[in-house]
Chain A
Amino acid sequence: MKPTPVAITGIGAISALGTGIAAQLEGLREGRSGIGRLAHLPLPFPELWFGEVKASNADLATLAGVEAEPSRTVLLGLIAAREALQDAGLGVGADIDLLSASTVGGMDRSEAFATRWMAGGLDGIDRAMGHAVGHHAHLLARHLGLRGRVTTLSTACSSSANALMLGAWLLRSGRAEVVLAGGADALCRFTTEGFRALSAMDPAPCRPFSADRGGMNLGEGAAYLVLERADHALARGRTPLAFLAGAANTNDAHHQTATSPEGDGPFRAMQEALAEAGRTPDQVDLINAHGTGTDNNDSTEQLAMERLFATVPPFASTKSATGHTLAAAGALEAVFSVLCIRHGLIPANLRSGTPIEGMRSAPDRVPRRATVRTVLSTSFGFGGNDSALVLTATP
Chain B
Amino acid sequence: MIVRAAAHCTLRPGSGQEAVVPGMDLLPKPMARRMIAPVRRAMACALAALAEAGVDRPDGIYYGTGLGCLADTQEFLLEIERNAGSLLAPTSFMRSTHNTVAGLLALALKAQGPNLTFSQGFVSFHAALLAAVMHLERRPDDRVLVGASDEHLPLLDHLFAQLGGPARFGPAVRPAEGAAFLVLGGAEGPVLGRVVDVRTGPADRVVADAGTAVWKGPLVEAAAQGTPYADRTGLHHSAPAVAMALALADAVPAVQVLDREGDQHGLIHLAR
Q: Which residues of A contact B (CB under 8 A)?
A: 44, 97, 103, 110-111, 114-115, 117-118, 122, 125-126, 131-135, 137-138, 141-142, 147-156, 162, 166, 169-170, 173, 175, 189-190, 193-194, 196-198, 248-257, 264-265, 268, 381-385
Contact = CB atoms under 8 A, between A and B. Distances in A.
Contact of A197 (B87, B102, B202): B87
**Chain B: number of interface residues, binned into ranges:** 35 or more
Interface of B: 61, 66-68, 73, 76-78, 80-82, 84-85, 87-90, 93-94, 96-100, 102-104, 106-107, 109-121, 124, 127, 131, 134, 137-138, 155, 158-159, 162, 200-202, 205, 237, 261-264
A134 B120 contact: yes
Given A162-B116, A383-B100, A133 B68 contact: yes
16 contacts: A110-B73, A125-B159, A125-B162, A151-B118, A153-B117, A155-B115, A156-B97, A166-B116, A173-B134, A190-B77, A194-B90, A250-B112, A251-B112, A251-B114, A251-B115, A256-B104
Nearest to B81: A118
A389 to B, nearest CB: 14
Contacts of A254: 107
A110 B70 CA distance: 12
> What is the interface of chain B mostly: helix, strand, loop, or mixed?
mixed
A252 B96 CA distance: 19
Contacts of B78: 114, 117-118
Contacts of B200: 149-151
B99 A382 contact: yes
A152 B120 contact: yes
Nearest to B131: A166
Nearest to A264: B112
Contact of B99 (A126, A134, A385): A385
A170 B118 CA distance: 15
Nearest to B79: A193
A176 B93 CA distance: 36
Contacts of B120: 134, 137-138, 150-152
B81 A132 contact: no
A115 B121 CA distance: 25
B89 A197 contact: yes
Which 9 A-B residue pairs are closest in the complex by CB-CB distance? A383-B103, A194-B93, A197-B90, A154-B98, A134-B120, A251-B106, A138-B262, A149-B201, A251-B115
Contacts of B138: 169
Contact of A198 (B80, B93, B119, B137): B93
Nearest to B83: A193
Contacts of A154: 68, 97-99, 117-119
Contacts of B159: 125
Contacts of A126: 162
A249 B131 CA distance: 13
A381 B99 contact: yes
B77 A111 contact: yes
Contacts of B84: 44
Nearest to B57: A253
A156 B98 CA distance: 7
B107 to A, nearest CB: 5
A249 B61 CA distance: 11
A115 B77 CA distance: 9
B131 A134 contact: no
A133 B98 contact: yes
Contacts of B73: 110
A275 to B, nearest CB: 13
Contacts of B98: 103, 133, 154-156
Nearest to A198: B90
A167 to B, nearest CB: 11
A132 B162 CA distance: 17
A248 B114 CA distance: 8
Contacts of A384: 103, 106-107, 115
A150 B82 CA distance: 36
Contacts of A103: 97-98
Q: Which of A44, A125, A133 has the most CB of B within 10 A?
A: A133
Nearest to A166: B131
A132 B77 CA distance: 14
B111 A251 contact: yes
B80 A256 contact: no
Nearest to A383: B103
Given A44-B84, A103-B97, A198-B90, 7 more contacts: A122-B155, A132-B67, A152-B120, A190-B76, A193-B88, A194-B96, A256-B100
A156 B97 CA distance: 6
Contacts of B104: 256, 383
Given A103-B98, A253-B106, A383 B119 contact: no
B261 A118 contact: no
Contacts of A250: 112-115
A383 B107 CA distance: 8
A190 to B, nearest CB: 7
A157 B88 CA distance: 21
